[in-house]
Amino acid sequence: MFDKKPKNKYKIDEFTPYIMKAKNIILIFGFILLLIIAIFLYTNKSTDKKISSFDNSNTPKIEKQIFEYKENQALLHKEEGEVFFSIPEKPETQLTIDEIYIPSGTKVRTTNSIALVVFLDDSIMTIDKNTEVKINFDTKNISIFQTIGNTWHRATSLLSSNNSYQVETSSALATVRGTIFGLSVFKNQGLNLIVKESIVDLSKKIKPNTPVKFISQVKTGEGFFTSQADYSLENLRDLTQEDLNQEWITKNNTLDLQWKTLEYNPQPKLTPHELLEYLRRLDLQPAPKVISIPTTNLKPVSIFEPEIITIPLADPEPTRGTESTTDTQANTTTDPQIDTTPTKTDTTPTTTTDPQINTAPTTSDPAPITDITLLDTTLTPITNFEIIPTKIFEPLIITGFTTSTTNIN
């Protein structure tokens, strides 16, 4: 029993290298599998963030990025405040980013907020505060059902009779073919229709799913105002400045001007997002308001209009240092205030055949003047003058004035 050799526990089995290789292969494949699973989970997590707002009705949120443009979808843009929307078969969601593309059949609701919808044909609708609408559209037709509130529409001119743009309420239907107009809907089925440009066909809904009854065409500068479902023509009248100065309307004036540029400079290749960015870069401002000032008991004047005063010139004044006998005598008889005492000179006056001409000879080297005659020139009051209107900003021109001269010894 003592001849038995002890077992060598450190002896390496011949299969051990293969087992080690298998373990290494299993570890490598396990690491690769874990990496694939991690990438898959990360990708699904990012996707869930984008669509979580549609699945979670309690606290819906949308990742802060613009959804990629999808063909045949309109753009919903938030101007200010809280805007809510719900796509078909999905709960209502708050729009927490600036804009998102929406499909047909989307409902939009505003509280103390304002939103824009840019359609595929470049038409743009402004949704005012406390307004609810449902939007249906395709490449040729736009149909909006307005439950309550104010909307402002810029409808592109329709190129075909197959195209349409209409706004429907619970009691009326407004159909247009390229125009700018606003529509207010009240709880009692009343409405205000304001047409800023072109024509709107207004019809009354008799019963659901029945043909509407045409009421009237509302043209540029006209409005249809009714507080109830009363669509008599007495409610059709011309717009006043007070109608157009409503705050929710004046806020649309700048975008109206920008949108009108598409008539002579269309942008057919731009997506709705790109179109809105293009319009916002146009530096256009509406004209300032004109304030009417009552003119009762006011004398009409021409502001900033200068005038020329034309005054008859008096007789030319005597030459300094000389004497005119005839002029002195005339001045003595007509104006007693003028002293006609002849000035002292070293020359002797001579009489000529023409008493009005002073021919006093002068020497080539006259004697120095010892007495200096000073002329006291003063302006006399102007009694007779003529006012001649001239161009704006032309200075005041006085063409002449009368003077009186007095010799001061």
User: Both 32 and 84 in a single domain?
Assistant: no
> Which stretches within 142-231 are classed as H helix?
none
> Which residue intervals of 56-89 are DSSP H helices?
none
Q: What is the spatial distance between Cα 280 and Cα 284, in angstroms, rounded to a whole number?
A: 9
> Which of 55, 87, 50 has its CA nearest to residue 67?
50
pLDDT tens for 202-227 read: 999 887 777 788 999 999 999 999 98
Q: Are residue 51 and residue 64 in the same domain, yes or no?
A: no
pLDDT at res. 45? 58
> How many Å apart are CA 99 and CA 254, to the nearest integer?
20
Q: What is the CATH number of the domain that holds 244?
A: 2.60.120.1440
93 plus 35 within the same structural domain: no
- Whether residue 249 is predicted with pLDDT greater than 50 in this model: the reply is yes
- Collapsing DSSP states into helix, strand and coil, what is residue 143? strand
Alpha-carbon gap, residue 104 to 73, rounded angstroms:
7
Q: Which residues pair with 164 in a beta bridge?
A: 141
In a domain, 334, yes or no: yes
Amino acid of residue 22:
A
In a domain, residue 4? The reply is: no
44 and 96: one domain? no
Residues 201, 65, single domain; the answer is: yes
pLDDT beyond 60 at 301? no
- 156 and 18 within one domain: no
User: Would 203 be classed as within a structural domain?
Assistant: yes
What is the rounded distance in angstroms from the CA atom of residue 205 to the CA atom of residue 2? 117
Average pLDDT, the chain: 74
Structural domain contains residue 30: yes
Establish if 171 belongs to a structural domain. yes
Task: Tell me if 368 sits within 8 A of 345, measured CB to CB.
Answer: no
The residue that leads in pLDDT, 118 or 351, is 118
Each residue of 1-41: pLDDT tens digit? 455 555 554 455 666 777 777 888 888 888 898 889 888 88
Are residues 269 and 308 located together in one domain of the fold? no
Could you say which DSSP state residue 198 is in? S
Inside any domain, residue 363: no
> Both 97 and 165 in a single domain?
yes
Q: Which domain holds residue 29?
A: 13-55
Q: Which residues contact 397 (CB under 8 A, 6 or more apart)?
A: 308, 309
Q: Is 307 found in the same domain as 234?
A: no
**Which pLDDT belongs to residue 227?**
83
Cβ-based neighbours of 197, under 8 Å, separated by 6 or more: 179, 180, 181, 220
The domain boundary, picked from 248, 280, 312, lies at 280
144 Cα distance to chain centroid = 27
Per-residue pLDDT, 237: 94
- Asked if 117 contacts 139 with a C-beta cutoff of 8 angstroms, the reply is no
Kindly state whether residues 20 and 86 are assigned to the same domain.
no
Domain count, the chain: 3
Residues 180 and 253 in one domain: yes
Q: Look at residue 143 and tell me if it is in a domain.
A: yes
State which amino acid sits at residue 370: T
Q: What percent of the chain has pLDDT over 90?
A: 38
**What count of other Cβ atoms lies within 10 Å of the Cβ of residue 190?**
19
Whether 222 and 83 map to the same domain: the answer is yes
Determine the angle formed by the axes of helices 272-280 and 253-260, rounding to 10 degrees: 110
H helix runs in 8-95, sequence order: 16-55
Q: Which of 245, 244, 249, 253 is nearest to 223 (CA)?
A: 244
The residue type found at 201 is: D
Q: Give the tens place of pLDDT for each residue, 39-90.
A: 888 776 554 443 333 333 443 444 444 456 777 899 999 999 999 999 998 9
